[in-house]
Amino acid sequence: MKTVVLKFGGTSVGSIDRIMNVVEIISSYKKKKMGVIVVSSAMSGSTTESITQTTGLSNSFDAA
């Protein structure tokens, strides 16, 4: 079985409509009986918020 690695983040997951498009892309590979590994990073505009939340959880977080 062939396997494909798909990476999504930023504007590609920036709204519900865009996330649904990502779902369709993933589904198309699954329908072809391919193995799928999905890597997802932060939504557009949310990285700074995620860093702020993480630093509130741990003193050892390195934002650099």
DSSP 12: G
Mapped onto helix, strand or coil, the DSSP state of residue 49 is helix
10 part of a folded domain: yes
Main-chain phi, psi angles of 24, to 5 degrees: -65, -40
58 part of a folded domain: no
Mean pLDDT by 10 residues, the chain (64 residues): 94 89 96 96 79 74 61
36 part of a folded domain: yes
pLDDT of amino acid 64: 56
Over the range 51-62, which residues count as b (16 or more CB within 10 Å of their CB) and which as e?
A: eeeeeeeeeeee
60 part of a folded domain: no
Q: The whole model's pTM is what?
A: 0.71
Residue pair 55/22 in contact by the 8 Å Cβ criterion: no
Rounded Cα gap, residues 63 and 54, in angstroms: 9
34 part of a folded domain: yes
Q: How many domains does the chain have?
A: 1
DSSP 11: G
pLDDT of amino acid 53: 76
Range of the domain at 36: 3-45
